[in-house]
Structure formats: C-alpha cells, structure tokens
A and B are shown apart, each in its own frame.
Chain A
Amino acid sequence: MCGICGCGQPDGTIKITKVSAEHTHGHDHDHGHGHEHHHHHAHGNGRHHAPHQHHGGSFQPGKTVLQIEQDILGKNNLLAEHNRGFFEAKNILALNLVSSPGSGKTALLERTLTDLKNEFPCYVIEGDQQTSNDASRIAATGAEVVQINTGKGCHLEADMINDALKQLKPADDSLLFIENVGNLVCPAMFDLGEGARVVIISVTEGEDKPVKYPDMFHSSQLCIINKIDLLPYVSFDVEKAKEYARRVSHITEFIELSATTGQGMEQWYEWLRKKVGR
C-alpha cells in the first residue's frame, strides 16, 4: 500500500531516476494519485481503551490469537541488511548523509566529488521530495547519480536504495554517498544498510540541535559542522554543540569544515580514506 496516505494504491509517488550531466531537466510532473477520504469511523480504533485488557490467553470461539512478536521495522531492516551485504561484497563504503534542509549537504558533496574523483570511483543517491535539482548539481561534477523523489515521503527507506542500486550499478571499491531527505527526525529510524551515518549541522543553525533531535545524533557516527567560515558572523558555539552531541552519543566524531572555502575538507577526506582502509 501507499506509505504516504495509507490508500490501497502502490507507492506511485516514489520515482527513481538516473540523472546524467546531459539530462538535467526537472522532473516536476505531478504524480499524485487521487484519494478520496471516506471518513466513516464508526469503529473502535483510534481510541486507547483505558483498562488494558489482556486478550491473549482466554479462549474466544472462532477467534485465533497470534502471538507474533514481530519487529515493525523488520522488513526495512532485512532489506537494509541485503544492501549491507551487497556493499560488503563489493567493498563499497556507503554513507548515509542526514541533516536539516539547508545545512549544505549538496555543497559538501559537490566539493568532495570534485576533489576525490581521481582517487575513488564515486556514486551518489539523492533523496528529495521533489525535483532533480540536486542530482543535476551532482551530475555536473561527473559522478554517477540516481535521484529518488519520495513525493510526500519524509525519508529514504532501504527498498528505495535497493531499487536505486539496480540503476546505479556501483563499481567495486567505490564510495557511495546517500543524501537523505533534509529532515532531522524521520530518517533516524530507517537503516539503509549504510556503513556509517554522517549527520551535518551548520553554524547558522542552533547549537542545541543535537538535544532537540537526539535520535538522529544518537544513531550517527560522524558529525560534520559545516559553514565554519561564517563563525565570525553568528553566535554558534562549536564547543557547546559538541558537548550537546556527546550527551546523546558517545561514539560521534566531529569534523569542522567549510564546503565553500575548503577549510577542514582534508580532515574529512582523511576520515573517508581511513574508513575505506587506504
């Protein structure tokens, strides 16, 4: 069923498009599917019945109790492990880049891809609700890129990555950057099969982002603090931001950089080389 509105239709709004440098027109067609909302809620759901009845043990004629104990995200996690196995077998370092919109993920990628293109084969999966603008920017660097448009969806899921990989066909010993939908909440819950999760914050945001959105920082292994060239003009306290992040996660590393001026980028490349094992 559709994960957007719960209607019976398949996920018609999710589009996966390979974008090349020559193919940069926007994909703004309206893939909406009409859904009438029948509001007849004469049933018992939607209410939490106060006395918690245990209806597990007693025999009810004609009724079967299925004690399944099934993980709700089990399907996503299983597919994420599929992806992880694929990456391991091909020695691909896959990174899931997460942040709020406007932190500079795409700018960071543009610079990284330009600087590292002679060192590693690089691939990109771009996640956005609409448009292939970001994929076009990435394609201009010469990297292979696939755009996933999630429609109204607020995050990428493992099956989308699985489908995108079939189009992208990344080579062995390469780097794969997955730019998640700009959102510090929803992507936290969905494993894509990445080798590491990288959260990006910029100094134009509040330094308390790590405690405002703890789930994302809790699940990330690297925190990039971007736009440090703007530090003289903003009140962002880098040490305070790190301290907040350490409250949420004790395994997060930090890199301070500016994708615009290039300051600190070498440290990021060193981190990547170390991860790849070179």
Chain B
Amino acid sequence: MHELSIIASIVDIAEEQVKKASAQQVDSIELEIGELAGVEWAVLEFAWEVGVQRSVLENTDRYIQRIPGKARCVECGSSFLMKQIFDPCPKCGSYFNEILKGKELRVKALTVS
C-alpha cells in the first residue's frame, strides 16, 4: 500500500510549509493526481484518515483534482485520452504511445492560518 507513503510525503510537505509560514494549521490542501500515476483512489481515501492522524493535516479539507491521462501516438501522431497505460491508439491501433499527461502527483496549494 504505497498510498500511505504518498500521504506521509504530503504530510511532510505540509508540515514544512506550515513551519515556513509560521502558521498554526492547514485549512485546506489541494492535490493534483493523474489517472495514470498509479494511485488507487479507494486506497488513498481509506489511508488518508490514518495517514494524517496527529499531523497538521488532521483537520484539513482535502481537494483532489484528477488529471485524465493523455497520450500521443508515436506512429500516427494522433492524441487521445488514455485510461490505462497499455491502451492502444484508437486511430491506428499502435501501442507505441507517449504519455503527455496523467502521471502528475503534486501538492498544488495549501491554505494556512
């Protein structure tokens, strides 16, 4: 369950930012996670409550912006939405694709007070 490690990294980032801003708490946190980033949404949801316990994120509102996967076919050049990293190009059927979007794993913003 690597989702817990991801949450631990998010907590580290938040704690660092709170310290830097000399703030007391994090009111909200905004994450950007790509559909192809390898995160299991249900597991992330489940692990979040445990992962943020007794940290600056314990009472924080969490917003997740999911970024759909997007790829470009190296053979025919067409761009398409990619749900799985082994999806073939819908136009020519090639698996030779370059992933353009969907691997993001970012803390976009925090509101602290």
Which residues does A use to contact B, with CB under 8 Å?
1-8, 37-38, 41, 43-46, 48-49, 52-53, 55-56, 60, 62-76, 153-155, 157, 185-186, 188-190, 210-211, 214-215, 218, 244, 246-248, 250
B91 interface residue (CB < 8 Å to A): no
Q: A1-B12, A75-B12, A214-B86 are in contact. Are A69 and B108 (CB under 8 A)?
A: yes
B7 interface residue (CB < 8 Å to A): yes
B81 interface residue (CB < 8 Å to A): no
B6 near A46: Cβ-Cβ < 8 Å = no
* B side interface size, CB within 8 A: 56
Which residues does B use to contact A, with CB under 8 Å?
1-2, 4-13, 17, 21, 23, 27-28, 30-31, 37-38, 45, 47-55, 57-65, 74, 84-86, 88, 95-96, 105-113
A44 near B54: Cβ-Cβ < 8 Å = no
Bound-state Cα–Cα, A211 to B95, Å: 12
Please name all residues of chain A whose beta carbon is closer than 8 Å to the beta carbon of B62 when the two chains form the complex: 45-46, 48
B96 near A250: Cβ-Cβ < 8 Å = yes
Q: A1-B11, A5-B50, A211-B86 are in contact. Are A64 and B108 (CB under 8 A)?
A: no
**Closest CB in chain B relative to A15 CB, distance in Å:** 17
Q: Please name 16 further chain A to chain B contacts, defined as beta carbons within 8 Å, in addition to the given A6-B55, A48-B62, sorted by A numbering.
A: A6-B7, A6-B53, A44-B59, A45-B57, A49-B61, A64-B112, A65-B109, A66-B110, A66-B112, A69-B107, A71-B106, A75-B9, A157-B5, A186-B5, A211-B86, A250-B96
A250 near B21: Cβ-Cβ < 8 Å = no
**Closest CB in chain A relative to B29 CB, distance in Å:** 9
